[in-house]
Structure formats: structure tokens, C-alpha cells
């Protein structure tokens, strides 16, 4: 991904004849950057402005990824702290592939991405708050009303579940949030015996190859290491 890299936030500039789109400044290419703001299209062409008005969500993604301070077309001041393109893309991907439908509208897109941020990173996490506030910045909804900021350590111990324990052939795992890091299983000598990777919060892993004994399973949530013990008994 482009976290830590550079981009001009322009789409289509490498394809001859392709209309350009700016995620950072949609107005440059006659697209709105605010819902019902300047250059918002309300006619019957373009299937009701489905492509023209996409500038609003393009701007939302830029704000969520990069962050920005400014005032939108509705006169609302915003100050967004970007969470990076990787996490923004994960939120958007989950919303588009698992929540939104063909008939979804902008209000649905807002709610879907907020729900995705909560699923992936927890309610009142930085990611959840910035998702809400980025929509406010493009003219949709209010600022987040969280009274606290969730840290991953607040939810790990009570919400990270492994079962059954003892286990024989499969171990079921329920995570409090997704992790991009490998999940590691160690035997009692400290030897790494199995590594897992998942894109799901709830999943099952095969432990048929593990011998009877006590094992430690280690999770890494943004640098927060959590160890759980389980027993293999066949």
C-alpha cells in the first residue's frame, strides 16, 4: 500500500482519453467535494449524477487516508487526522463487499463504512471516529459523539475467545478486532509450531498436527501482544 509513500491523488491520468478524477480536490475536474455543495449534480443525465457526484466519496476517502483541515461548501469547519490508506482501504473494501448493495445511496455508504470501521477496529476507536468525522467534512452527518477513545487493550482480554479448551482437532477463535499480523502457536519449550493468518474475526483452525500438551497462542494487535494458553487432548 501507499502508507508512507507519495501520490498525486489523481485517477485516470495515465490512460489516454480517460476522464481524470482528483480524490484530493474533486472540483478540479468538475466534481463536487461536498454533498449538495458546489458542482453537485441534480439532473437526469449520468444516471442522476452517479459518476459526477462520486467526487464526494472520493474526497471522503482522501480525508480519511490523509487528513486535512478546512471548511466545506456548507460552511462547516473540519479537522481530520488521517488513518492511512491501508486502514481506509480495509474499511471501504468491507463496506463495499459485505454491506452495501446495488441500490445503496450515499446515506447507506456513510452508515456502511461506519459499521465497517466498528467491525474492524472497535466502537469509538480512532478509525471509527475519523470515519464519522470525514463524512461530516464532506457534508454528511454530524461529528462523532464518542466520549472516549477505544484502545485495543480495552477489549482484548474480555473479547478474545478461544474454545474448546481442551481441544482435539480444531480450535475456534473469536477476535475483538482484525489483525494483519500472523497468529503464532508455541509449544511449552517456546518453539513456534504453527502460524495462522486470517481476514475474519471469527474462524476455526486445524490443530490435528499438534501433539497432546499445553500450547500458547499469541496475537498481535497493533503492537499489543496477547498470549492465551490452550490444551491439546486427543
Low-confidence ranges of the chain (pLDDT < 70): 1-5, 13, 15, 17-18, 151-158
Pick the closest to residue 88 from 54, 121, 111, 124 (CA basis): 121
Do 193 and 186 touch, CB atoms closer than 8 A? yes
pLDDT, residue 152, reads: 57
pLDDT digits (tens, 9 = 90+) for 3-23: 666 788 988 767 676 678 999
Strand pairing category for 202-206 and 192-196 = unpaired
The percentage of residues in the chain with a pLDDT greater than 70, rounded to a whole number, is 92
pLDDT, residue 190, reads: 87
pLDDT, residue 4, reads: 63
Please enumerate in sequence order all residues whose Cβ is within 8 A of that of 131, keeping only pairs 6 or more positions apart, or say none.
64, 91, 113, 114, 116, 117
Pick the closest to residue 54 from 91, 84, 94, 96 (CA basis): 96
Q: Tell me the whole-structure pTM to 2 decimals.
A: 0.68
Q: In residues, how long is the chain?
A: 234
Residue 208 to residue 42: CA distance in whole angstroms: 60
Write the DSSP assignment of 20-79 as a string of letters. PEESS-GGGGT--SSTTSTT---SSHHHHHTTGGGHHHHHHHHHHHHEEEEE-TTS-EEE
pLDDT, residue 36, reads: 96
Residue 184 to residue 48: CA distance in whole angstroms: 50
Domains and CATH numbers, the chain: 10-137 (1.10.390.10), 152-232 (2.60.40.3080)
User: What are the grid coordinates assigned to 180, written together?
Assistant: 494483519
Amino acid at each position: 500500500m501507499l502508507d508512507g509513500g507519495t501520490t498525486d491523488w489523481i485517477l485516470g491520468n495515465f490512460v489516454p482519453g480517460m476522464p481524470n478524477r482528483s480524490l484530493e480536490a474533486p472540483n478540479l475536474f468538475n466534481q463536487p467535494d461536498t454533498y449538495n455543495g458546489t458542482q453537485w449534480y441534480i439532473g437526469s443525465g449520468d444516471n442522476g449524477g452517479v459518476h459526477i457526484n462520486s467526487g464526494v466519496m472520493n474526497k471522503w476517502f482522501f480525508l480519511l487516508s490523509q487528513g486535512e483541515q478546512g471548511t466545506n461548501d456548507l460552511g462547516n469547519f473540519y479537522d481530520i487526522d488521517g488513518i492511512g490508506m491501508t486502514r481506509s482501504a480495509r474499511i471501504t473494501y468491507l463496506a463495499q463487499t459485505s454491506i452495501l448493495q446495488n441500490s445503496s445511496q450515499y446515506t447507506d455508504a456513510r452508515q456502511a463504512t461506519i459499521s465497517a470501521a466498528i467491525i474492524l477496529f472497535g466502537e469509538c476507536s480512532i478509525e471509527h471516529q475519523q470515519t464519522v468525522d470525514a463524512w461530516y467534512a464532506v457534508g454528511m452527518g454530524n461529528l462523532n459523539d464518542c466520549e472516549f477513545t477505544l484502545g485495543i487493550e480495552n477489549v482484548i482480554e474480555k473479547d478474545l475467545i478461544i474454545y474448546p479448551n481442551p481441544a482435539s482437532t480444531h480450535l475456534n477463535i473469536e477476535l475483538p478486532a482484525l489483525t494483519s499480523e500472523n497468529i503464532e502457536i508455541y509449544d511449552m519449550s517456546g518453539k513456534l509450531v504453527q502460524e495462522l493468518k486470517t481476514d475474519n474475526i471469527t474462524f476455526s483452525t486445524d490443530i490435528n498436527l499438534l501433539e497432546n500438551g499445553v500450547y500458547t497462542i499469541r496475537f498481535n494487535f497493533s503492537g499489543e501482544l496477547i498470549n492465551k494458553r490452550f490444551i491439546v487432548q486427543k
